[in-house]
Each structure stands twice: as structure tokens, then as C-alpha cells.
């Protein structure tokens, strides 16, 4: 006879006392175990069902909100809690900023465990709605049904355009209105979906891998330019008719691409992009620098707050105009070109070759002559020979991906003994880990959290390090 599976605990009254990574709240169970819960607010008292239990912690779901936190507000979007795009709409923006600041502080205290001379208050966004310049949506022949519609007569067989909810690769939340991207984003999504239905084009069935319409991506810049990329399953006589109908209905589109995605997955940036209409690029302005953005370019998705972030980097860098600067993980060279007029020269290094091509084109566009760009893995390029060729840097700016810097790169920075480092991070936990390693030779002068993505758990953190 098999062992009976033990039931997970149920907590009648659990107070949420703090925040954790990825937007979760946390409380302490009577047995001392830390309990993590999604979509709660600090100060909530809930009944909670544990769904996953480990020795030191548990994950639970709310069964009843017994006492709401003072931080709670009514979510403004009808799709909140379903599409998975905005995790913090149920708390005020002021509370969101407190939560994010707390996450950065906790990372520095629990992971870095090194002295930090100044922890600065978080910088929030002026615009908390319609702040993204890029969004991607999926077509699906299966609509995601909310909990109240499951086991009713409502069918999920419907052609819809929107986001995949977490864990549902074959269904899509049909979006009536999304607050993430400014118009004409909603008009484009709804209008293109309507055109496809009128033309009888089948939406993609991700489980059966059949259909025609797959994805659509919009880039909308502050300069009024609009790029649309449409992904379809194959190229045939239906495609020109569809593309022309979209342009007829939306003359606001300045560049229109299509790509053929006949793969099993939705990722389209490894596919050839075919230009159907327009110049093939859109432009964005960040302060004094103008950027040309292609269909595959990486660019900060919150243009207005990107300027705030880069102004902070300039402030931390405290350049005099005589410095030799290295910009590691430079992407398309946004920070490189934003700060270069305050430095003698800037060297940018980025692993993705197409990003370096974009960086060089943008430098030419802005008539910048004191920037040099190199494509390759930072840990391989940044060696003794490179340092000899380009000179010892007076300042290093590093903006690594979420995983942070490799141990090899950290060791190279320690060996280079650059007087100052400005470390920009989208993951306070890995930044804190790297700061602990760099503390071998560097003092952490200040850390500044920046909110780039309101109503989500994502946080940017900028640290200034000085050589002892």
C-alpha cells in the first residue's frame, strides 16, 4: 500500500509583513517558516493555502482577504491578474516604490553584506501608464477563459490577439485595452485583428501547430514614428492583401515589416525580416542623442525613464572631459553615446554583433567620433592586451544582463584597478553578489534604485564604486 500524500498546511490568518523578489509578499507561519504569496500587499491579513512546501519556506495562494492593507487600491485594468503583465496594480504607486526600494535594500543587506555609504531613495516614473515604446502580441485560435467562465457554456474557441497568461503557451488573453503602450497601440492591435478576421485568416493554434497569423510587434517612439512587424506562418497570396489592408487602415505606420515563422516557438527575432513599407527604421530621442532603431534592435523600452537613468549615470560618473571610459555590455551604445561628450573617449563592448552594428550607425548619425565599439563576449575581449591597446580606463560603466557579471569579468575589473565603476543593474540580487566580490578593492559609495516599469516588480539599481 502506497504512502498517503500529506496535505499541505492551511493558515487561517497570515499577515503579510514584507516583500520578496518577483513581486511576492511574505509572512511568517506559526512554525516559523517564511511563506511567499503572490498579489498581496504589505499589511494584508489573509487565509492562505500552501501549494509548495520546503524546509525553510513555503509558497501559498490567498483564499480570503480578511483584512486589506492600507496600500491597496482598485486595479485600473480589466485584465489585471489574468494576463500577467502588471503584478502590482493592486497597490498604490507610492507603495510600489517603497516595495521596490525595500527589495534593493534587502539584496544589499543579505547578499552584498558590505558597507554602503549612501542608500539613496528610489526615483519613480512621472508617467505610470503608456510608458513602453515596444510591445509584442500573439494571435491565437483559443481564448483564455477566466475562472468564472470555466465549466460554463462559453467556448474558448475564438480568434483573439493579446498576451499569453503565465503557463499557457496555447491560449491568449483577448485584450480590450492595454495601459502599457501609448496609442495607436490599442487601435493597431484591435484593427489588425479585425482585418485578419474579415479576410478569413486563421489564427495560430499552438497545440496543433496550424494556422496563419502568429505575432505582431509595435514600436511607437516619442517622435511619432511607428514600426509594425507581422509574423505569419508562410508566404503566399494572402500576405500582400493583408499588408496593404493594414496600411490603408493605418497610414500612421511609418515602417512595416513581415517575417515568416514556421517554427514550433513564437520567437521571431532569429528570422529574416522583410521590409514591406517605409524606411525600415524608427528614431527615438534621448536628451541630446538621436537613435535609429531597426526591427531587431535592443532599446530601452521606457524612453522617458531611460533618460532619467542615463542622467543618473552621468551624475555618478562625474566626468571632466579628460577620461578614458569603458562601457561594458553596451548594447546599441545608448549609454556610450549619451555620456561620450563628457569624456575624452569611450570604448563599448557588446556580445551581440547586430547591436554593435546599430551602435556604429547611431554614432555616425549623431556625428560622434570619440566612441569605439567591439563585438564579443566581455570576459574574452576585456583582457590585458585589450587594456594595453585602448589604455587603462579612468571609469568603467557596466550594465550586464540579469545574470550579472561572470567571475572572470569581476576578476578582470579587480586586476584593472580602475578608479571608479558605475554599475547599472536590472537585478539587484546579482548586482549585490558582484558588489560583494568587488568590495575586495572597492568601496561602495552609493546605490540608487530607479523604477523603469511601474506596476511590475522589475527594478533598476545603479551603484557607484571607488577604488580604495
Q: What is the mean pLDDT of residues 30-47?
A: 94
d(CA 88, CA 81): 9
Identify the pLDDT of residue 153. 67
Distance CA 416, CA 410 (A): 10
Catalytic residue among 83, 125, 330, 426: 426
Q: What's the confidence (pLDDT) of residue 402?
A: 94
Q: Give per-residue pLDDT as tens, 351-402.
A: 989 899 999 999 999 999 999 999 999 989 988 899 899 999 999 999 999 9
Residue 404 above 80 pLDDT? yes
Q: How many CB atoms lie within 10 A of CB 406?
A: 14
Residues 194-206, mean pLDDT to the nearest whole number: 97
The confidence score (pLDDT) of residue 14 equals: 96
Rounded CA-CA distance 130/307 in Å is 16
Cell of 348: 563599448
The answer to whether 90 and 76 are in contact (CB under 8 A) is no
Give the pLDDT score at 425: 97
Q: Please compute, for residue 296, the number of CA atoms within 13 A of its CA located in the half-sphere on the CB side.
A: 18
Q: Average the pLDDT over 322-349 and give the result.
A: 95
Asked if pLDDT for residue 111 goes beyond 80, the answer is yes
- Look up the pTM and report it: 0.92
Compute the mean pLDDT over every residue in the chain, rounded to the nearest whole number.
Answer: 94
pLDDT of residue 462: 98
Q: In the predicted model, is pLDDT for residue 2 greater than 80?
A: no
Q: What backbone phi and psi angles, to 5 degrees, belong to 310?
A: -70, -35
Look at residue 432 and tell me whether its pLDDT is greater than 70: yes
Reported confidence tier of residue 31, pLDDT bands at 50, 70, 90: confident
Task: Give residue limits of the domains in the chain.
Answer: 10-67, 97-128+302-467, 134-286
Is there a common fold for 10-67 and 134-286?
yes
User: What pLDDT is stored for residue 151 in this prediction?
Assistant: 65
Lookup: cell for 370: 570619440
Residue 380, C-alpha cell as written in the block:
574574452
Is 426 annotated as catalytic? yes
Average pLDDT (182-200) is 98
147 alpha carbon, distance to own chain's centre: 28
CA 399 to chain centre: 14
Digit-coded pLDDT (tens) for 234-265: 999 999 999 999 999 999 999 999 999 999 89
Q: Quick check: 421 pLDDT over 70?
A: yes
**Taking a C-beta distance cutoff of 8 angstroms, is the pair 29, 59 a contact?**
no
**pLDDT over 60 (residue 199):** yes
**pLDDT-based confidence at 3, cuts 50/70/90?**
low
Task: Give the other-Cβ count within 10 Å of 336's Cβ.
Answer: 29
The mean pLDDT of 61-67, rounded to a whole number, is 96
The percent of residues above 90 in pLDDT, for the chain, comes to: 87
CATH topology for 134-286 is OB fold (Dihydrolipoamide Acetyltransferase, E2P) (2.40.50)
CA distances from 67 to 9, 24, 86, 144, 347 (A): 20, 18, 23, 30, 55
pLDDT digits (tens, 9 = 90+) for 118-165: 999 999 999 999 999 999 999 999 998 877 677 676 678 899 999 999
What pLDDT score does 196 carry?
98
pLDDT over threshold 90, residue 32: no
Q: Which CATH architecture has domain 97-128+302-467?
A: 3-Layer(aba) Sandwich (3.40)
Q: Output the pLDDT for position 1.
A: 46
pLDDT band for position 167 (50/70/90)? confident
> In a 3-state reduction of DSSP, which class is residue 198?
helix
C-alpha cell at 191: 484593427
The superfamily in CATH containing domain 10-67 is Nucleic acid-binding proteins (2.40.50.140)
Cell of 430: 546579482
Amino acid at each position: 500500500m502506497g504512502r498517503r500524500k500529506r496535505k499541505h498546511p492551511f493558515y487561517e490568518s497570515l499577515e503579510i509583513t514584507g516583500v520578496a523578489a518577483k513581486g511576492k509578499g511574505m509572512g511568517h507561519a506559526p512554525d516559523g517558516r517564511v511563506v511567499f504569496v503572490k498579489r498581496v500587499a504589505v499589511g494584508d491579513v489573509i487565509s492562505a493555502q500552501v501549494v509548495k512546501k520546503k524546509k525553510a519556506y513555503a509558497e501559498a495562494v490567498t483564499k480570503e482577504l480578511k483584512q486589506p492593507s492600507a496600500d491597496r487600491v482598485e486595479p485600473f485594468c480589466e485584465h489585471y491578474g489574468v494576463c500577467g503583465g502588471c503584478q502590482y496594480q493592486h497597490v498604490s504607486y507610492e507603495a510600489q516604490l517603497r516595495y521596490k526600494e525595500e527589495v534593493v535594500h534587502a539584496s544589499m543587506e543579505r547578499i552584498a553584506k558590505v558597507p554602503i555609504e549612501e542608500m539613496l531613495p528610489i526615483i519613480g516614473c512621472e508617467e505610470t501608464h503608456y510608458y513602453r515604446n515596444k510591445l509584442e502580441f500573439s494571435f491565437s485560435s483559443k481564448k483564455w477563459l477566466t475562472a468564472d467562465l470555466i465549466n460554463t457554456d462559453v467556448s474558448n474557441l475564438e480568434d483573439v490577439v493579446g498576451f499569453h497568461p503565465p503557463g499557457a503557451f496555447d491560449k491568449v488573453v483577448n485584450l480590450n485595452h492595454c495601459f502599457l503602450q501609448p496609442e495607436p497601440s490599442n487601435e493597431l492591435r484591435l484593427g489588425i485583428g479585425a482585418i485578419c478576421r474579415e479576410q478569413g485568416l486563421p489564427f495560430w493554434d499552438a497545440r496543433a501547430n496550424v494556422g496563419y497569423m502568429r505575432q505582431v510587434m509595435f514600436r511607437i517612439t516619442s517622435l511619432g514614428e511607428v514600426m509594425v512587424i507581422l509574423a505569419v506562418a508562410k508566404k503566399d497570396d494572402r500576405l500582400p492583401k493583408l499588408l496593404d489592408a493594414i496600411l490603408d487602415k493605418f497610414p500612421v505606420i511609418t515602417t512595416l515589416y513581415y517575417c515568416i515563422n514556421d517554427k514550433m516557438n513564437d520567437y521571431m527575432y532569429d528570422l529574416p525580416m522583410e521590409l514591406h513599407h517605409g524606411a525600415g527604421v524608427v528614431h527615438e530621442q534621448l536628451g541630446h542623442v538621436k537613435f535609429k532603431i531597426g526591427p531587431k534592435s535592443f532599446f530601452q523600452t521606457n524612453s522617458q525613464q531611460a533618460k532619467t537613468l542615463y542622467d543618473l549615470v552621468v551624475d555618478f560618473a562625474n566626468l571632466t572631459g579628460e577620461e578614458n571610459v569603458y562601457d561594458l555590455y553596451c548594447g546599441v551604445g545608448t549609454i556610450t553615446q549619451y555620456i561620450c561628450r563628457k569624456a575624452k573617449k569611450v570604448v563599448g563592448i557588446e556580445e551581440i554583433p547586430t547591436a554593435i552594428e546599430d551602435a556604429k550607425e547611431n554614432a555616425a548619425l549623431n556625428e560622434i567620433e570619440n566612441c569605439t565599439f567591439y563585438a564579443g563576449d566581455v570576459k574574452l575581449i576585456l583582457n590585458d592586451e585589450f587594456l594595453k591597446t585602448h589604455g587603462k580606463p579612468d571609469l568603467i560603466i557596466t550594465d550586464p544582463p540579469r545574470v550579472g557579471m561572470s567571475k572572470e569579468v569581476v576578476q578582470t575589473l579587480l586586476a584593472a584597478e580602475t578608479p571608479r565603476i558605475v554599475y547599472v543593474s536590472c537585478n539587484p540580487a546579482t548586482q549585490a553578489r558582484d558588489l560583494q566580490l568587488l568590495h575586495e578593492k572597492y568601496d561602495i559609495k552609493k546605490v540608487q534604485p530607479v523604477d523603469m516599469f511601474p506596476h511590475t516588480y522589475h527594478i533598476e539599481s545603479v551603484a557607484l564604486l571607488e577604488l580604495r
